[in-house]
Amino acid sequence: MSGIEDKVVAITGASGGIGEATALLLAERGAKVVLGARRSDRLEALAARIADAGGQAACVQTDVTRRDDVAGLVQLATERHGRLDVFVNNAGIGPISLFDDLRVDDWEQMIDVNVKGALYGIAAALPVFRRQRSGQFINILSTAGLQVYPLMSVYAGTKNAVRTISEGLRLEAGENLRVTTISPGFVHTDFAESMTDPDVKAQIIGTRDEMAIPPAAIARAIAFAIEQPANVDVGEIVVRPTAQA
């Protein structure tokens, strides 16, 4: 048996990109995946695809800016399987722009999804983990939080906020809980679709198409963190294209 088989794993932002790739890989390795995302049609299609391949998947429409939705995702996992082993805070958006553009609505959306969404995940899963005396958070960050570039300041700020939150959570977690952060570089997803500035969006898509790695590369990093023995806590993984500066 692998360290993944039979584990119950909840994933936000699971309808595409890194979330979808992670669901497919973990289900293939024997995990029972519980999937949440806003796009219910794509979510249901993914769950059906996993089931058709012999895996176990459940799903529920989840908007991470709504605390009740995130709580419902955890509730589905515990009602369906009696436990929750891993919560992957993956949902995120990045409508990046120059400060002078004053896209304040975009700033607020990034805070709501990237920061508050992750906190809602922690609030929903932590009591379950405490009762079980076991559990793992995996929070998806970004290399944008490691090296700040123009246009990305607010986005990087949200990711660094979750990095700080994650480290604080790890320090409070005690010997039974694990906390992992994963910082992807350019990944070939539809991440740019959240961008509201057409010129910036085109620039990011161009760079993505030149160098981006597949979402499966990040899924493998997530799997690596999960499959470690219970007394091994992988703190942080950075996965970027070789060509990325």
Catalytically active residues are 155
- Alpha carbon distance 173, 175 (integer Å): 7
- Alpha carbon distance 29, 182 (integer Å): 20
CA nearest 87: which of 24, 12, 16? 12
Residue 47 CB burial class (10 angstroms; 0-12, 13-18, ≥19): buried
Residue 227 CB burial class (10 angstroms; 0-12, 13-18, ≥19): middle
